[in-house]
Amino acid sequence: MLTEAAFGHMIGLAERFEAAVTETIAEHALPWSVTRLGCRVEYMFSPTPPRTGAEAAAALDPELDALLHL
């Protein structure tokens, strides 16, 4: 599973997913952002990705986060 081919495939899917989510956020003018690192994609309920743990905590929306992780 941990092969260059597998990661290449996952990264390609993550890029498509990130682009689609970013487009949807922009389309609806939501104050959210998306961050991708390799094949991992994260949403943040703030207009820009946080740079520190304190910024991440301040941007946390517990209700939206709970819905996201159902």
Tell me, what's the pLDDT at 46? 85
Per residue in 16-59, pLDDT tens?
Answer: 999 999 999 999 999 989 989 999 998 888 888 888 889 888 88
Tell me, what's the pLDDT at 18? 96
DSSP-derived secondary structure letter, 1: -
Tell me, what's the pLDDT at 22? 95
Domain spans, the chain:
4-68
Taking alpha carbons only, the member of 55, 28, 33 closest to residue 43 is 33
In 1-70, which residue ranges form alpha helices assigned H by DSSP?
Answer: 4-27, 53-59, 62-68
Measure the CA–CA gap between 15 and 34, rounded to whole angstroms: 11
Contact 44, 56 (CB under 8 A): yes
